[in-house]
Amino acid sequence: MNPSVMDYQALKNLVKRGESSSLEFKLKTNHPEKIIRGVVAFANTNGGIMLIGVGDDKKIVGLKYADEDEYLLVRAINKYCFPRISYTIERVQLYDEREVLVVRVPRSPTRPHYILTDPAEPESKKVYVRVADKSVQASREVREILKGEQAERDIRFSYGEKEHKLMKHLDEHNSITVDLFASIAGISRRIASRTLVLLVLANVLEIHPSDVVDHYTTRQLQ
């Protein structure tokens, strides 16, 4: 545990903002497997803070036995999250001797991180990313993009008929999915998936992950 660098007033100000892509509330650590989804999602996206001892209704309840909660959390992160995730834990003392755990997770340079609860079943590993105020399971395309972002190499692609059909559709309809692209271009889903991943890595397209289906749009110039 790190010494607290957040006081009660700063905690209240943070809670007032509500849950977001970089802030999540958990009342307790009864289900550490749910908490580590958020930790992994923060590491795989843009980092974030998890407050344990705060309800979804923004009520700051605190933890009566913070030592036990921190132990369960640290054990779950170290046991089930791979590669190892960098994080810090602080505590904010409340007036009734309860405490809130402040878990800070930076954006990771070694993503994608995943959760593996059963080493005997490596195929059961799950990757999560942060979308708005939720941690959603990443699609195969999102996982490939996370891996590709870590590879320091130029992304090259050829602009052929399928890319022409893709950009024409995006000009007319703003967004597209892997299955829709495969359909309108008359190609396999595998080729459609690989093409969209390459175009995201080349900064031509942008992916919008979802727990239902990912959408792709033309990347807006900054």
What CATH number does the domain containing 120 carry?
3.30.950.30
Give the pLDDT confidence score for residue 156 in this predicted structure. 76
Residue 175 lies in a domain: yes
Give the pLDDT confidence score for residue 202 in this predicted structure. 92
The amino acid that residue 61 corresponds to is V
Catalogue the E-assigned strands of 87-214. 88-93, 99-105, 114-115, 128-131, 134-137, 175-176, 205-208
Lowest-confidence segment of 92-96, 138-142, 206-210 by average pLDDT: 92-96
Give 3's pLDDT tier (boundaries 50, 70, 90). Answer: very low
pTM: predicted TM-score of the whole model, two decimal places: 0.92
Residue 111 lies in a domain: yes
Mean pLDDT to the nearest integer, 21-36: 92
Give pLDDT tens digits for 105-131: 999 999 999 999 887 888 889 999 999
Domain boundary (137, 155, 177) is at 137
Domain boundary (121, 137, 153) is at 137
